[in-house]
Amino acid sequence: MSDEIIETYDVIVLGAGPVGENVADRACAAGLSTVVIESELVGGECSYWACEPSKALLRPALLYAEAARFPGVASTVTGPLDARAVFANRDRMVADWNDRGQVEWLESAGIALLRGHGRLDGVRQVTVETPDGGAVRLRARHAVAVCTGTRAALPPLPGLDTVRPWTSREATGARAVPGRLAILGAGVVAVEMATAWRALGAEVVLIAREPRLLTRVEPFAAELVADRLRAAGVELRFDSGIVSAERAGGADDGVHVSLPDGTRLVVDELLLATGRAPRTDDIGMETIGLVPGDWLTTDDTFTVTAVEGDWLYAVGDVNRRALLTHQGKYQARIAGAVIADRAAGRDLDTSPWGRHAGTADLLAVPQVVVADPEIAAVGCTVEEAARAGRAVDVVDYDIGHVAGALQHDPDYRGRARILIDPDRRVIVGATFAGPGVAELLHSATIAIAGEVPLDRLWHAVPSFPTISEVWLRLLETYRDQRAKS
């Protein structure tokens, strides 16, 4: 390997997922020469193994479930989903795992791409091992942004090395429906994949170490999803886990799974949906005094706090602030502006672009769980408010009482909740659970991020007959609660 530094850029970005692309785009638009290093596909986890393919599998499942409940349509819904057609559409959504289109976008934006595995190699330096076995050394004049994201975190199960378990990648990319699927986990990946694969015809058992699903959302929302999963035929085992797993014979013998109560299951595939770990174990962290495999802690400009000189940034999942694609892209927009301002010698507090700070990671993180029913949530939950010692007024409303909901589903089951700061009279949390509620989420996000007073929200008139009329009902319910107190 040559030690010669052969290329210098203003900004080097490790990782070409949505986050890295956005950091690079902002830096390049500000006139900074920028290179992105990627070892897999340009577009990253979200485009090829997470958001896009998972929703392509889920959309037919949810359409089928909704149609099967609707008068005049239910009688025409016969037979199972066409798995082959679902997979074909999934493949189309991920461009058959070909990143040509994403590469063309980078080129059109003036961003350089270097294929290979990039590692930090001292202050503002990166070494890239290229696919042909060569090495390229790069130097950054201003910034290096680590946007390497996360990978599936596997539990230390005995026999795991023989099992060849599914992670989220295999679950979203599979080309055949397993006859029997066991899922270990209770979070979003576990719930969404249980929904999709059950609809595609697999027998599914979901094994959770927790006492319920989706422990980070309001319990009422999680219970609605659990009810639908049970009704669809998914077996739910709470307060459980897996003691061991092995694929004793050939692939046809299946995976033998042992549970703590002595139960033994035999399944065709085992999906481990047990969390995420940062992709920092092999990116040269040790060369700048950091620990390989650790999360990277940042301030609100996404500058790594443990490294001096304001040159290293950690953006997206790798900083553990909010493991969501849209939040990572939000962070990238801020980090890109910060890098541009610092490169130009501008004071961040007096920047012409406004003060840069990632406050949404703390106050208004929106998320949709694409399940049956949908869950849309932003801000804090009742449990989180209690842990923080924060006083909130809780307002609940049955969405099924709204005319627009009944147009959506005559037997609509759903619920809305907002949390109100009684002193400031602003909304600090909102959760909606029910069919079609995802489109309510941005209005709640604006209300929380903008700290819109309740007195003004009364003048945001919802259209009739839409599900958004639940906003009016929530405000009326709160008015009545206050009148009685």
pLDDT tens digits, 135-168:
999 999 999 999 999 999 999 988 788 899 999 9
160 vs 370, higher pLDDT: 370
Predicted confidence at residue 45, as pLDDT, reads 96
Whole-number percent of the chain with pLDDT over 70:
97
Predicted confidence at residue 273, as pLDDT, reads 98
In CATH, what is the architecture of 373-484? 2-Layer Sandwich (3.30)
DSSP string, 63-98: HHHHHHHSTTTGGG--S---HHHHHHHHHHHTGGG-
**pLDDT at 88 > cutoff 70:** yes
pLDDT in tens, 47-62: 999 999 999 999 999 9
Predicted confidence at residue 95, as pLDDT, reads 97
Predicted confidence at residue 346, as pLDDT, reads 86
Contacting residues for 256 by C-beta, under 8 A, at least 6 apart: 245, 246, 247, 248, 264, 265, 266
pLDDT in tens, 179-221: 999 999 999 999 999 999 999 999 999 999 999 999 999 999 9
Question: Strand pairing of 203-207 and 180-184?
Answer: parallel
Nearest to 342, CA basis, from 63, 97, 30, 20 = 30
Instruction: Tell the residue number behind the tokens 């849209």, with chain if given.
Output: 326
Residue 396: burial class (beta carbons within 10 Å; 0-12, 13-18, 19+): middle
**pLDDT at 1 > cutoff 50:** no
**pLDDT at 2 > cutoff 60:** no
**pLDDT at 395 > cutoff 60:** yes
**Which CATH number is correct for 7-43+99-151+277-360, 2.40.160.60, 3.40.50.720, 3.40.50.2300, 3.50.50.60?**
3.50.50.60
Dist. CA 299–CA 263, nearest whole Å:
47
* 60-74, 185-199, 350-364: segment of lowest average pLDDT: 350-364
Q: Is the CB of residue 164 less than 8 Å from the CB of residue 333?
A: no
- The predicted model gives 412-431 an average pLDDT of 97
Around Cβ 139, how many Cβ atoms within 10 Å? 17
Dist. CA 207–CA 183, nearest whole Å:
6
**pLDDT at 359 > cutoff 90:** no
**pLDDT at 278 > cutoff 60:** yes
3-state helix, strand, coil in the chain (%, to 5): 40, 20, 40
105's enclosing H/E stretch is: helix 100-109
454's enclosing H/E stretch is: helix 454-457
For the chain, give the mean pLDDT. 95
Q: How confident is the model at residue 350 (pLDDT cuts 50, 70, 90)?
A: low
Instruction: Tell the residue number behind the tokens 């999360």, with chain if given.
Output: 295
Nearest to 165, CA basis, from 267, 45, 47 = 267
Dist. CA 194–CA 191, nearest whole Å:
5
Predicted confidence at residue 161, as pLDDT, reads 82
Helices (H), 128-267: 160-163, 168-173, 188-199, 219-232
Q: Is the CB of residue 56 less than 8 Å from the CB of residue 355?
A: no
**pLDDT at 108 > cutoff 50:** yes
DSSP string, 129-142: E-TTS-EEEEEEEE
Predicted confidence at residue 5, as pLDDT, reads 64
Fold equal for 7-43+99-151+277-360 and 160-274 = yes
Q: Is the CB of residue 186 less than 8 Å from the CB of residue 209?
A: yes
Contacting residues for 59 by C-beta, under 8 A, at least 6 apart: none
Cis peptide before 422 (omega within 30 of 0): no
Q: How confident is the model at residue 351 (pLDDT cuts 50, 70, 90)?
A: low
Predicted confidence at residue 4, as pLDDT, reads 59
- Domain positions in the chain: 7-43+99-151+277-360, 160-274, 373-484
**pLDDT at 113 > cutoff 50:** yes
Helix (H, G, I), strand (E, B) or coil at 376: strand
Instruction: Tell the residue number behind the tokens 């319990």, with chain if given.
Output: 219
Question: Strand pairing of 203-207 and 276-278?
Answer: unpaired
**pLDDT at 64 > cutoff 80:** yes
DSSP string, 216-235: TS-HHHHHHHHHHHHHHT-E
Q: How confident is the model at residue 251 (pLDDT cuts 50, 70, 90)?
A: low
- The predicted model gives 229-256 an average pLDDT of 89
Dist. CA 439–CA 434, nearest whole Å:
11
160-274 fold: FAD/NAD(P)-binding domain (3.50.50)
Q: How confident is the model at residue 413 (pLDDT cuts 50, 70, 90)?
A: very high
Helix (H, G, I), strand (E, B) or coil at 155: coil
The model's pTM: 0.94
Q: Is the CB of residue 371 less than 8 Å from the CB of residue 195?
A: yes
406 DSSP β-pair partners:
none
Predicted confidence at residue 250, as pLDDT, reads 60
4 vs 158, higher pLDDT: 158
